[in-house]
Amino acid sequence: MASDKIAPPTRPLGPTDIHVTPIGLGTWQFSQNILSGAGNWGSLSPDDINAIVQAAVDGGVNWFDTAEIYGFGRSERNLARALRAAGVQPGEVVIATKWWPILRFAGSIPRTIGKRIKNLAPYPIDLHQVHWPYALSSIESIMDRMAELVQAGKVKAVGVSNYNAEQMRRAHACLAQHGIPLTSNQVKYNLLDRRIEANGVLETAQELGITIIAYSPLEMGLLTGKFHQKPELLNSRPRRRRGKLKARLEITRPLIDRMAELAEKYDATVTQIGLNWLIHAYGDRVIAIPGATKPHHAADAARAMNFVLSLDEIEELHAIARALTGYKPISN
């Protein structure tokens, strides 16, 4: 991964010595028309995926988030192939994946880790996350199995996703008995969806030293401003997402207009303003994993690490967005 460029500053992932750039790359889009990937993103070719990962690496992004459920392992395999194609050596990037808990017992964690390791080879798994809090086993049983993976050297750290404040505390307490920290909670968070500021998740993360990994940080494309500028673009987007985005264009326009003014000031894009807000509004606590279906999406997102909005601007965007939506998403 040789480069002359200055690397963006990194942040520790929770209380670990794993260091990540504030912007990573989400790879649900690499599911290739399988499961929910199809209704939301369509299908990318291997060449498309290689080019997206190359653009992220070139932009200084040093970590990637995938999951077992994204295309039943396709996203993991596509990511590993693309990193190899980009000449990235094992250990040069941070890899996060997730175990799928729904309708499963904790015993499936040790049974499925081999597949995760094989799919992602030769890149080691830095962070293994529990995708949702819904499983057939208790949080405690799940955390015991996850701790065993760390003790066996199969993964470096443990995170959760979509956990509420109380569930975070239970996971944290159980891991602590094994001498292992809870590293992160991956949740939906962006300017238009502020639930974690009101439901105790952000506060608990701050108290326990847990990193918040913001997923859908661009509200599935709405916060890029491109659909406000050219609503006809929505016609080419997969059906499931099109309806959701169309219904929210007008109500969100005042926010996008202000973001566009700030973008001009910083020689940036609306996308970069939204991501910059996320990674600076709460110090180092929040990092983001925008998804991409084109190389220029990944390059654009990486450039959100090149400037810092002023505190007044962060507060102003906060106020405009909250006046539009309250803490809740406009609709789900």
Residues with a catalytic annotation lie at: 70
Give the one residue of 13, 28, 126, 202 binding ligand NAP; rule: CB under 6 A: 28
Residue tagged 């962060």 (tokens): 314
Alpha helices in 220-331 (DSSP H): 226-229, 239-246, 249-265, 270-280, 295-302, 311-325
Site for ligand NAP in 32-51 (CB under 6 A): 41
Residue with Cβ nearer ligand NAP (141 or 293): 293
Helices 165-176 and 139-151 sit at what angle, rounded to 10 degrees? 40
- Minimum CB separation of residue 2 from ligand NAP in Å reads 25
Contact mark string toward ligand NAP, 246..285, x via CB under 6 A: -------------------------x--------------
Give the one residue of 290, 303, 313, 320 binding ligand NAP; rule: CB under 6 A: 290
- Minimum CB separation of residue 177 from ligand NAP in Å reads 25
The CA distance from 206 to 204, in Å, is 5
Residue with Cβ nearer ligand NAP (178 or 294): 294
- Minimum CB separation of residue 183 from ligand NAP in Å reads 14
How deeply is 235 buried, as exposed, middle or buried, from its count of CB atoms within 10 A (0-12, 13-18, 19+)?
exposed
**CA separation (Å) from 317 to 39, 256, 271, 289?**
31, 10, 13, 20
Per DSSP, the three-state class of 329 is coil
Give the one residue of 289, 305, 309, 321 binding ligand NAP; rule: CB under 6 A: 289
In one letter, which amino acid is 5? K
Closest CA to 132 of 63, 206, 186, 66: 186
The reply to whether 156 sits near ligand NAP by the rule CB under 6 A is: no
Q: For residue 122, is the peptide bond before it cis, meaning its omega torsion is within 30 degrees of 0? A: yes
Give the one residue of 77, 217, 268, 317 binding ligand NAP; rule: CB under 6 A: 217
Cross-strand partners of 25? 64
Residues that bind ligand NAP (CB under 6 A): 26-29, 41, 65, 131, 161-162, 186, 215-221, 224, 226, 237, 271, 289-293, 297, 300-301
